[in-house]
Amino acid sequence: MRTTTRKALAATAVAASLVLTGCGGGETGESADGTITLTVKTFGQFGYDDLVAQYEASHPSVKVKQENIAKLADYTPKLQQWLTAGSGAGDVVALEEGILIKLMAKPDQFVNLLDHGAAALKGNFLDWKWQQALTPDGNKLIGLGTDIGAQGMCYRSDLFAKAGLPTDRAKVGALWPTWDGYLATGKQFAAANTGASFFDTAGTVYQNILMQQGDQTYFDRENTLIAATNPGVRKAWDQTVAMIGAGLSGKLQMWSPAWNAGFKQGSFATIPCPAWMLGQIKDQAGPENAGKWDVARVPGQGAVRGGSFLAVPAQSKHPKEAAELAKFLTSPQGQTAAFKAKNNFPSSPQAIDDPAVTGAVNEYFSDAPVGKIFGQSAKSLKPVYLGPDNQVVGDGIGDALTAIEQGKLGPDQAWTKAMNDAERAAGK
């Protein structure tokens, strides 16, 4: 799941939901009868409930306790605190791609999965996904890939019909081969006065345009800040500002209560949606909106937005057992099961080709062939280098776009502020 965007998960509330299975085992995670309890810490929705039950059934001496924090913005600082303190992280932790880059500078905080037979599993992952968690010298593997943020465009077919636009997903996708086409469609939608905005917030659109602008965004691979000089950043900014100017944004803060309510109320007609977001939309829109949402191709050539890894903290009392569990959960079979449970699109080529993925349709989203839509370009997607301070820089730019939406700053003022904030963030 992601980025950033899952960054956006950068919002508010605390809402930590704990899903507990199995029984505790004290500080060492081992009970008197020798049963080991492994704690798995994740954020968002990883879809591991059935897999955990399966693992416990085949490993009777192991119990798995899942602890989940709903929002990445709440999870990330806690994870960093646990790792710095040397306790509290448990045995297996989820690492979103943005925080992975930062933590790669501290490889001693994690178990080397190559020491636990992970090298033999390299072929189970897209090559770039494998390389992302490998130290530059190739001697240490920090994590094993879970999902990738293959993108689509989710839309409300009932609102499209109300606006006199096509509702068939192929015809909808044909409306926007490019982001300029998306802007033109948005203007048609706005002119129909349906009472809904065309999209939820400028931040989600900006992020998706940005991730299609080459292999780096705010930092180059030497971690030098290039936000102000990278033409891709400026292009994504200008296209987003044009959409704000056309009155297409619902001006909703991502992950806010109003944003969540917007799915149920039909406040906006489209939202760029990585595969992992489908579960979020379904949960927020509720059963009364089943069949009103659909999924079409995203404008442009597609890109990766989000994706995660599982790692074993060095502080784990049971690194061998924890590594085995991480290997199981990230196996092709595990990734296929997670996709079926929560639409997290696999980073495993075998799972991507699994008929359970390629033939998957999503009943809630009007039987959209989500395996085909998200899988069409998944193998050819290339990672975008984010840099260790990508999230804080991206947050600042997102805030500047929000200021434009709210009429607090003009586009030029907002750009200047965003670049100044980026300089300060990168200079920390």
Structure confidence at residue 348 (pLDDT): 95
10 Å CB burial of residue 308 (0-12, 13-18, 19+) is: buried
CB atoms within 10 A of CB 24: 12
E strands present in 118-209: 143-148, 151-156, 197-199
Structure confidence at residue 18 (pLDDT): 37
Cα–Cα dist 13/71, whole Å: 8
| CATH, domain range 150-303+380-426 | 3.40.190.10
pLDDT tens column, 102-128: 899 899 999 999 999 999 999 999 998
As separate numbers, helices (DSSP H) first and strands (DSSP E) second, the chain gives 19, 10
Among the listed residues 46, 96, 88, the one whose alpha carbon sits nearest the alpha carbon of residue 72: 96
Residues of the chain with pLDDT under 50: 2-26
Domain residue ranges in the chain:
36-148+307-356, 150-303+380-426
Structure confidence at residue 428 (pLDDT): 57
- Please check whether the two domains, 36-148+307-356 and 150-303+380-426, share a CATH topology: yes
Structure confidence at residue 355 (pLDDT): 95
pLDDT tens column, 365-389: 999 999 988 887 676 677 788 887 8
Structure confidence at residue 401 (pLDDT): 96
Q: What b/e readout covers 114-148, taking b as 16+ CB neighbours within 10 angstroms?
A: bebebeebeebbbeebbebbbeeeeebbbbbbbbb
Structure confidence at residue 22 (pLDDT): 36
| CATH, domain range 36-148+307-356 | 3.40.190.10
Cα–Cα dist 156/271, whole Å: 9
pTM confidence score: 0.79
